[in-house]
Structure 1
Amino acid sequence: MTNVIEQALTKLSQLPENQQEAIAYLILAEIEDEKKWAENFANSQDQLAQLADEAIAEFKQGKTQPLQHFSV
């Protein structure tokens, strides 16, 4: 365990139990979200490659415009 995690857990242990629970649920949710994102990204490589190929083909066909042509 890293020093930062140990420091966070020490501070967390000093909070009231209901705050500890709330923060623990936030941490668990964040870990689960990160896991899902990593899995989705890993499983999308073929689709991302296909989209990149399509973008390159459109660029070569002159179907794209520089980004400065679009204003926000």
Structure 2
Amino acid sequence: MNMNTLQEIERAVSQLSEKELSAFRVWFAEFDAANWDKQFEADVEAGRLNAFAERALQHLREGRCTDL
């Protein structure tokens, strides 16, 4: 995305009515969450979270985790 496109989006969002802005917020939150989920799934598949998972499991085995 180039700067003109970003500026156009900012300008368009700033001109939304309250109702449209509210709908946009809902849409964007869902859009953002879906993108985050895709990235998380890609990280899991690529093994980028394995070290964190192993560390958490090691802490559990060592009794370093507590119930809340």
What is the alpha-carbon root mean square deviation over aligned residues?
2.1
SS of 1:15's equivalent?
Answer: coil
Percent identity for Structure 1 against Structure 2: 13
Aligned partner of 2:32 in structure 1 is 31
| Whole-Å separation in 2 of the counterparts to 1:15 and 1:34 | 24
Deviation at 1:8, TM superposition (A): 1.0
Q: Deviations over 1:6-62 (max 9, x none)?
A: 21121122121110111122112111111111111110236xxxxxxxxxxxxxxxx
Amino acid at match of 2:19: N
Aligned length: 46
Structure 1 SS opposite 2:10: helix
1:15 matched residue in structure 2:
16
Q: Within 2, Cα distance between the matches of 1:6 and 1:27?
A: 17
Q: Could you tell me which residue of structure 1 aligns to residue 51 of structure 2?
A: none
User: How big is the shift at 1:3?
Assistant: 3.2
1:28-67 pair list within 5 angstroms: 28-45=29-46
Q: 1:28 to 1:5 in 2, by over 3 A?
A: farther
CA–CA distance in structure 1, aligned partners of residues 11 and 26 of structure 2 = 17
Query: Which AA in structure 2 matches 1:25?
Result: V
Larger radius of gyration: 1
Q: Any stretches of 5+ residues in structure 2 without a counterpart?
A: 48-68
